[in-house]
Amino acid sequence: MILQMIERYYNWALIGILLLNLTQRKIPNSHKKRTATLYLAAVLLLFELGAVTILTRGWSHYLAIPLALVCLLIIYLLRNRAWPFRLRCVSCNAKLDFNHVIGGDENLCRTCWEAAHPELVQEEEPIEVAIEPTDATSIE
């Protein structure tokens, strides 16, 4: 019963992971994390293939437990490549926003990244807009 539900909603989980991968393309310097989402999608595909095989052959649903353990073992063995996501900055332990959690391979907050890469930081000059009103009715 549980395997049938997993098989039914598998496509949505895979679509979610691949959409996350597509959003990571917009974030600069996120090659490792984009590859990690593909590793996760591949392991999810492996689990789905095993679940479909168990269902179509009529085997015991308890075989899904070793299958899940094998998938977790694969993720554990590839943990540096398959799970590079951190919730906190590795330098100052500040909480990272969503874009820095899913993108940016260095897992640094904006302040620490600017300190680590001063040559890439551009000085933003404020734009001055001069508005000179002539009377009270000309300003809207």
Domain locations in the chain? 2-84, 86-121
The tens digit of pLDDT for each residue in 62-92 reads: 999 999 999 999 999 999 898 888 999 898 9
H or E element: which one contains 13? Answer: helix 2-24
CA pair distance 10, 38, nearest whole angstrom:
15
Closest CA to 24 of 100, 80, 103, 79: 103
Residues 6+ apart with CB under 8 A from 121: 114
Q: What percent of the chain has pLDDT over 90?
A: 46
- Return phi, psi of residue 88, to 5°: -125, 155
> What predicted TM-score, i.e. pTM, was given to this entire model?
0.75
